[in-house]
Structure 1
Amino acid sequence: MSSTHTSATPYYFVPAESRHPVMAAAGLFFVILGAAQWINGHQWGMYSLALGLVWWLAVLYQWFSQSVQESEGGRYGYKIDLSYRWSMAWFIFSEVMFFGAFFTALWWARAHSVPALGSLDNALLWPEFKAAWPTVAAGATASPANIVEPFQTVGPFWLPTINTALLLSSGVTLTIAHHALRENHRAKTIRFMWITVLLGFVFLCVQGYEYHHLYSELNLKLTSGVYGSTFYLLTGFHGFHVFIGMLMLFFITLRLRKGHFTAERHFGFEGAAWYWHFVDVVWLGLYMLVYWT
């Protein structure tokens, strides 16, 4: 939401018919078609995937640009602001459920699946199996036939702790930027927004370096039993969400530089901030449950 509202602001804005939804769906069709064919060995699927992504991103750019123009044109009133807030709240709730499923998978593997494999019922099938977590001890990979390569687990020091400090710091700088915007200090807002975006970028660089270290030195891979699969699913999807949140904040910063948003009306800023703080909270859960335990 933006700020340039006039006395003619409608009670509720109804947009004209738009081609954007069907065009975005068409782009996603080629993405899914290409991905499905590519992973099944058809090389043309790679080109379909690339075409679909470019198509989809171009449609999103046009769609978002139109929304920004409508907002800056004073067409969005209280009801639209309220609908955006509810939409963002439900979107974040869906993300909570998304990560909740992966956290539940981690808990189920540790508390139920691994102990069950080491129970008396399975003793005849895997007599040498050790029901221990992390599944790195000899025989504890649910693979007595040694089809899972030996690997080492990862602790909280030092890269995960550095990334925790980076994300927590970014939450602080984002909050400072928000308060500065509410006080109409635009230059200060933009300065701290750039710092927040930079901290998010550094987080991704550190995580990339961590992944390289894990693969090359600890031999911890996505195929390293249930420990490796849950580790990379949780941290990898979180890293993707950090990337999306960083893009949100980047484009909000560009809009701030163009003079968009005011101290009174700036939900575009607030929505991105909500998402970023959600990403921070998820990382704290990952840091405690994946790296420390």
Structure 2
Amino acid sequence: MAVKTESYYVPAQSPWPIIGALGLFLLALGAGMWAAGIAGICGPVIFGSGTLVMTIMLFGWFSNVIKESHSGLYSAQMDRSFRQGMSWFIFSEVMFFGAFFGALFYARVLSVPWLGGAGNNAMTNEVLWPDFTAIWPLTLTPGGLETTAMGWFGLPLINTIILLSSSVTAHLAHLALLREQRQPLKMWLGVTVLLGLAFLGLQLWEYLHAYHELGLRLDSGIYGNTFFLLTGFHGAHVTLGALMLFVMWLRILKGHFTPAHHFGFQASSWYWHFVDVVWLCLFVFVYIL
């Protein structure tokens, strides 16, 4: 009796991985030069070029995968490969944010008490910073720069409600897809994208408020560093997640996805829920505690 084997599609050589690597390199180089103030306007220009290259890569690679899927080239094994790949990608993102949260906890739980003379570190306090007060957030730098901490009430709380609501609407869109309800699917997913854009707009407003009214900047000591790095990287992930969901919305308008075959939508939904969980941790550990 012949054993039936399942074919596994192997795509042809593609330029998108090397283009993506180039885009990430330009983003990192431009961001570094921009933050360090090197070569004037070159940093922002290089960063913008990297953003453009990454956008072209994402749309081009998505387009190739969509065409391959609609051509019937993907098997059940391929679907499992996609799921494993997305799972590992999200795990890598967990580790990415874990490193920044780890740095925050190290500063708050270990470094700040040490500088304040906790334990057997009285001499450390006297030698390094005699007038240091071990409290968090640190609103005074060793250089004398004083800032104001960002409270949790107001824009941060509104953004938390918006992002949690977007997670609910994304889930409602998924349920509508499983029930083959196309109109509710379009509506709920469109609302999710709009909520994501609203979150980004309010975060920009929050940054302007922090810079101009609170004196809270990236160079405002360890507190300013951790605040802008954590919230800034999260904002970048929200931008990517909103872009992914927007692409899914465009595909739905074209009639793509069925209850049995919709991993592209599901992967974007996974990523969006991950972004929401990270924000909850940020809201608690950066804004409230």
TM-score (norm 1): 0.87
Query: 1:1-293 counterparts in 2 under 5 A?
Result: 11-28=7-24, 39-41=37-39, 49-119=47-117, 120-122=122-124, 123-136=126-139, 141-143=140-142, 147-293=143-289
Distance 2:232 2:28 in 1: 20
Distance 1:239 1:31 in 2: 15
Q: CA deviation at 1:26?
A: 4.4
Q: Render the CA deviation track for 1:68-119: whole Å, top value 9, x for unaligned.
A: 1000111111011100100000000001011111111111101111111121
Distance 2:45 2:138 in 1: 39
Q: Render the CA deviation track for 1:206-243: whole Å, top value 9, x for unaligned.
A: 11111111111111111111111111111111111111
- Check 1:281–1:31 CA distance in 2 against 1; reply closer, same or farther (3 A cut): closer
Q: CA deviation at 1:44?
A: 5.5
Q: Which runs of 5+ in 2 are unaligned?
A: none
- Check 1:224–1:28 CA distance in 2 against 1; reply closer, same or farther (3 A cut): closer
Q: Which moves more between the two structures, 35-44 or 113-122?
A: 35-44
- Check 1:132–1:169 CA distance in 2 against 1; reply closer, same or farther (3 A cut): same
Query: Does the residue aligned with 1:275 lie in a helix, a strand or coil?
Result: helix
Distance 1:129 1:45 in 2: 36
What percent identity do the matched residue pairs reach?
Answer: 50
Q: Which moves more between the two structures, 259-268 or 40-49?
A: 40-49
Distance 2:167 2:131 in 1: 47
Aligned residue identity for 1:107: F
Q: Is contact 1:148–1:225 with CA below 8 Å preserved after alignment? A: no
Q: Which moves more between the two structures, 114-123 or 12-21?
A: 12-21
TM-score (norm 2): 0.89
Q: CA deviation at 1:135?
A: 1.2
| Count of aligned pairs between the two proteins | 278
Task: Report what 1:5 is aligned to.
Answer: none
Q: CA deviation at 1:126?
A: 2.0
Q: CA deviation at 1:174?
A: 0.6
Aligned residue identity for 1:121: M
What root-mean-square deviation, in Å, do the aligned CA atoms of Structure 1 and Structure 2 show? 2.2
Q: CA deviation at 1:19?
A: 3.1
Distance 1:185 1:42 in 2: 53
Distance 1:115 1:68 in 2: 54
Aligned residue identity for 2:64: Q
Aligned residue identity for 1:134: P
- Check 1:44–1:161 CA distance in 2 against 1; reply closer, same or farther (3 A cut): closer
Q: Is contact 1:37–1:43 with CA below 8 Å preserved after alignment? A: no
Q: Is contact 1:231–1:290 with CA below 8 Å preserved after alignment? A: yes
